[in-house]
Amino acid sequence: MEVTFYIASAVAVYATIMVITRHNLIHALLYLVLSFMAVAVVFYILGAPFIAALEVIMYAGAIVVLIIFVIMMLNLKAEAVEQERKWLSRGIFIGPAVLSLILLVELLYVVTASGVSSSGYPMVDAKAVGMSLYGPYVIGVELSGILLMSGIVGAYHLGRQKKKIVHRFLEKAEE
Amino acid sequence: MDDVPIESGLVLASILFILGMIGVLTRRNIIFMLISVEIMLNAAGLAFIVAGAKWAQADGQVMFIFILTMAAAEVSVGLALILQIYHQLKTLDSDAASKMNG
Amino acid sequence: MMDLLWLVPALPFLGALVLILFGTRISRTMVAVIGVGSVGLAALITILVGTTFISSSESSFNLLLWSWIDVAGFSPSFALHLDPLSLIFIFVITFVGFLIHVYSTAFMAGDEGFSRFFAYLNLFVCSMLFLVLADNLLLLYLGWEGVGLCSFLLIGFWYEDKNNGDAARKAFIVTRVGDTAMAIGLFMLFDAFGTLAIPEILAQAPQVWTVGSQTAVIIALLLLGGAVGKSAQLPLQTWLPDAMAGPSPVSALIHAATMVTAGVYLIARMHVMFELAPLAQQCVAIIGAVTLLLAGFSALTQYDLKRVLAYSTISQIGYMFLALGVGAWSAAVFHFMIHAFFKALLFLGAGAVILLLHHEHDMFKMGGLRKKLPAVYWTFLIGAASLAAIPFITAGFYSKDNILWLTFASEKGNVWFFLAALFGAFITSAYTFRMVFVTFFGEAKSTVTHRAGNLMTVPLVVLAILSLVGGFIELPHTIGHLELLSDLLSPVLPSVILRPGIASAEWAIQSISIILSLSGVYLAYYFYLKKPALPGKIKSSFAGIHHIWFTGWGFDVLYQTIFIRPFVWLSTMYKGDPVDKCYTGIVLLTDFMHRVFAKTQGGILRWYIMGLVIGAIFILTLGLLL
């Protein structure tokens, strides 16, 4: 088990290094997903399976998808062609693929090996987290709700294309 | 398994955090900077989880959930900003957005 | 008839108001009619009110006009108080003021500020009347400051010349020193009595304080400070010689006849206070004695005709103070009245001479005017004789003799005061006739193109007559023994208490004073007519003393050194705002730091993050190290 931790750690570190050194955004994102996956494995090993699941769903899923959406919206024309060409080269996929495989193996081992949860790090399951979250931390939950709300509002406000709304008389006057 | 020391987890969190920081500092592309910030946030979350595991408490995970929430809000606002900047400046270069210089 | 009293100050005020508002739009004749007429009517009403008052045999008459304010038991009324003392003063003010106004119409005829002049002059008369008619000290203070203001305005009347403005400011600031002392005295009086009404204070004071009480002495000294400032006595006398920068009628009215005697009036009015404070009263006498001598010596050395008269005025007011100081209250008032006549006459005469010689002030450049200006000469001679106390025929003789005698004979007098007064009388006649001989005798040194008109001559003649016959209302025991003025004043001012067994010496004192004043005349005759070269020789051999006397005993230099220089030095020090420098320094530092740190605000996001990281590292390092 100790070994799995270190392997997952190594994958995470390597993937992260790859993220920050890539020239291509999509490649970087692929490595980013990998890095999150590796961290998720670490969470699992540390006895937090609920958080491991959240890590995969939120970080590796939602946030990365959001970034990809934005990249698509930006429609980077000159670079897009260049990127397209690079995406097709097989060498690019090797790194993430290898790392992913390592992680996969690891996961398989961890999941199949018995007595994971009964090890030195006791499992703190979703129920305990939920009880804590809606018990002593309920204020934090409320604040998080406000934060998310403001995030939505802010994102809507900033993301909106500004249309020139000028009164017709004023428009004439400006001409 | 039993021997995974608490230090190892924290070391991993530190390394990831530093890598994220290096990313923020070195990249000029704003999207890359945003991604690096995500890595840093994730590393901070990892540190909480490690600590929570050490004491077998749910608090660490609760903190992680808060961080996650914040990261989600931050990334949505950040991406909206990136969209605006790109529309205004036609580039993703953060150095181009230096109109507010003293 | 007495209810008309309010018209006396109101008419000049109305005149001033009209002249200030419409002075530039109405003709000069109209200005003169309003300016002179208002004061003339006031004089007429004064005579009416005065005769009614004297025949009514009341001791005082109070006319409440309105109340100023009523706050916490403090309700000073705007009330006029007429008693024999204020009656004499308003008579002199309105009557002499009227004559000077008449004279001014001729004197100022060609001046651009004709209406302004009469506006100020009327305002002055109004303020002065309020000063002497005031029922309470607050109203008195209003008049007191009012005359100070008018004095300032009129000294600096020809303000285009910087020297005149400087003289006006000097007069204002120096008198302000005394006024401040007086204001403090008034506060203390209010503190002690809860009122500023003069009759109440005078009635209550002897019950509240015993003779020599400390508070009474302090208040009396503070009031004396005000009087000293206004009346140009030592040590605040320096402004009066410079005040001669104003037009001659102003010098006659304000700086000889009326305003400068306000101090005398104040002390006479508050005589109860001074009798409760023998120390303060003695101070009055000492100040008077010293001032009359110092100013007399200074007058001996002046060249400027008007400055001689200015020092003479200081000296004569010194006599009045001396009289007040020895308790000869009515003698002081008597001398005030006579002095107002002959000094106004002298100033007007001097003004006429100066005007006709095209603003020539130096009397050594005049000479021989006796034949060219006979009217001015004869009236001036009468005034000078009165000032020099030529015996028997002049009013000045009777008033001054009265003071000399009482200085010697009064219980509070002593031989030193008497000697000072006697020697002062000798100097007075010497410098007076020096002035007369130099100006009107000898050979002519300047040309006179025209003579004084009737408007100038008539006031001179009237004042000359008054200077001659004015003295006959109060004759000494040895000659006739008439005490009209003292009897009139007796309800207000206590009569002087003589030392026992001294009355028989009066004729001896008189003889000495007659001899001295005549010898003073002879001295002037000997030096300036018989041996005109002698004064020059003496002057050159005693150049140091001459210089000290000429500059008024160096008081100007003294004040320049101990007050003005340090003040100017401090001002120049603070002109650069040394205290402010600290704050300016902080501002400059902030500004500098702002510029330095503004450089870091480069708009490059990565640098900001770098800053954050460096900060974090710094804090972590600190945390690890400590």
The answer to whether residues C74 and C8 touch, using CB atoms and an 8 Å cutoff, is no
Q: Do B38 and A46 touch (CB under 8 A)?
A: no
Q: Is the pLDDT of residue A164 over 60?
A: no
Q: Answer yes or no: is pLDDT of C590 > 90.
A: yes
Overall average pLDDT of the B83-89 stretch: 82
Residue A126 has pLDDT above 90, yes or no: no
In chain B, whose CA is at the least distance from the CA of A131?
A: B58
pLDDT at A175: 42
How far apart are alpha carbons C75 and C13 in whole angstroms?
Answer: 24
Among C118-122, C286-290, C616-620, which stretch is predicted with the lowest mean pLDDT? C616-620
Closest-CA distance, B102 to chain C, in angstroms, reads: 5
Q: Do B1 and A116 touch (CB under 8 A)?
A: yes
Contact criterion met (CB < 8 Å) for C604 and B94: yes
Q: Is the pLDDT of residue B86 over 60?
A: yes
Q: How far apart are CA C313 and CA C295, in angstroms?
A: 8
Is the CB of residue B36 less than 8 Å away from at least one CB of chain A? Answer: yes
Is the Cβ–Cβ distance between C132 and C146 less than 8 Å?
no
Which 3 state secondary structure label does DSSP give C577? Answer: coil
Give whole-number Cα distances, A170 to A161, A163, A164, A166, A173, in Å.
Answer: 21, 15, 12, 6, 5
Task: List Cβ neighbours of C361 (8 Å cut-off, separation of 6 or more).
Answer: C303, C304, C305, C306, C307, C354
Give residue A114's pLDDT band: very low, low, confident or very high (50, 70, 90): very low
Nearest C-alpha neighbor of C128 from the set C213, C230, C27: C230
Q: Nearest by CB to B94, from C597, C601, C606: name it.
A: C606
Rg of chain B (C-alpha set): 17
The radius of gyration of chain A's CA atoms, rounded to the nearest angstrom, is 22
* Cα C187 from Cα C613, distance rounded (Å): 70
Inter-chain residue contact C603 with B99, CB threshold 8 Å: yes
Rg of chain C over all Cα atoms, to the nearest angstrom: 30
The minimal CB distance from C604 to the residues B30, B33, B98 is found for B98
Two structure tokens written together for C426 = 């000798």
Q: Are chains A and C in touch, 3+ Cβ pairs below 8 Å?
A: no
C335-to-C125, C130, C331 alpha-carbon distances in Å: 21, 22, 6
Residue pair A3/B6 in contact (Cβ under 8 Å)? The answer is no
A116-125, A163-172, C95-104: least confidently modelled range:
A163-172
**CA dist C355 to C22, C248, C441, Å?**
28, 9, 19
Residue C396 has a CB neighbour count (10 Å cut-off) of 34
- The pLDDT of C605-614, averaged and rounded, is 78
Q: Could you tell me which residue, A166 or A18, shows the higher pLDDT?
A: A18
CB contact under 8 A, B97 and C605: yes
Closest residue of B to C595, CA-based?
A: B102
User: B46–A39: do the CB atoms touch at under 8 Å?
Assistant: yes
Q: Tell me which of C14 and C543 has the higher pLDDT.
A: C14
User: In 10 A of CB C616, how many CB atoms?
Assistant: 11
Calculate the dihedral angle through the C-alpha atoms of C43, C45, C48, C49, rounding to the nearest 10 degrees. Answer: -110
If pLDDT is split at 50, 70 and 90, which confidence band does A88 have? low
Distance set, CA A51 to CA A1, A41, A111, C60, C124 (Å)? 19, 10, 16, 109, 99
Measure in Å the smallest separation between the Cα of B38 and chain A Cα atoms.
9
Smallest CA–CA distance, residue A102 to chain B, in Å, is 17
- Segment B31-47 shows an average pLDDT of 89
In whole angstroms, what is the distance from residue C432 CA to residue C434 CA? 5
Mean pLDDT for the stretch of residues C233-243: 84
Distance separating alpha carbons of residues C88 and C50, to the nearest angstrom: 9
Task: Specify the DSSP element, H or E, that contains C186.
Answer: helix C162-193
Q: pTM above 0.90?
A: no
User: What is the identity of the amino acid at C73?
Assistant: G
What ipTM is given for this predicted complex?
Answer: 0.88
Name the residue among A9, A35, A133 with its Cβ closest to that of B62. Answer: A133
The answer, for B56 touching chain A at a CB cutoff of 8 Å, is yes
For residue A167, give both structure tokens: 């009164």
Q: What class is the A2-124 domain?
A: mainly alpha
CA distance B100 to chain C (A): 5
- Name chain B contacts of A19, Cβ cutoff 8 Å: 19, 23, 35-36, 39
Amino acid, single-letter form, for residue B102: G
- Facing B101 at nearest CB: one of C601, C609, C613: C601
Rounded to whole angstroms, what are the CA distances from C616 to C141, C216, C235, C610?
73, 77, 75, 10
Identity of the residue in A46, A54, A148 whose CB atom sits nearest the CB atom of B50: A46
The CA-atom distances, in angstroms, between A122 and each of A2, B11, B53, B56, C17 are 15, 21, 7, 6, 104
Q: Which helix (H) or strand (E) holds C82?
A: strand C77-82
For A25, the closest of B31, B58, B65 (CB atoms) is B31
pLDDT digits (tens, 9 = 90+) for C487-510: 777 777 787 777 777 777 778 888
CA distance C20 to C431: 40
Please state which of the ranges A101-110, C211-220, C581-590, C601-610 shows the lowest mean pLDDT.
A101-110
- Average pLDDT along chain C: 84
Residue whose structure tokens are 């000697």: C419
Residue C511 reports pLDDT greater than 90: no
Q: pLDDT band at residue C254, thresholds of 50, 70 and 90?
A: confident
Chains that touch C (3 or more CB pairs under 8 A): B
Residue C624, chain B, CB below 8 Å: the answer is: no
* Structure confidence at residue A35 (pLDDT): 92
Q: What is the pLDDT of residue A110?
A: 60
CB contact (8 A) between residue A25 and residue B39: no
From B2, which residue of chain A is nearest by alpha-carbon distance?
A120
Neighbours of chain A (3+ CB pairs under 8 A): B
Choose among C130, C425, C397, C346: nearest CA to C259. Answer: C130
User: What φ, ψ does residue A89 adopt, rounded to 5°?
Assistant: -70, 135
Two tokens, residue A31: 């490595």
Residue B87: its pLDDT value, please? 81
Are the beta carbons of C603 and B21 separated by less than 8 Å?
Answer: no
Q: Which residues pair with C220 in a beta bridge?
A: none
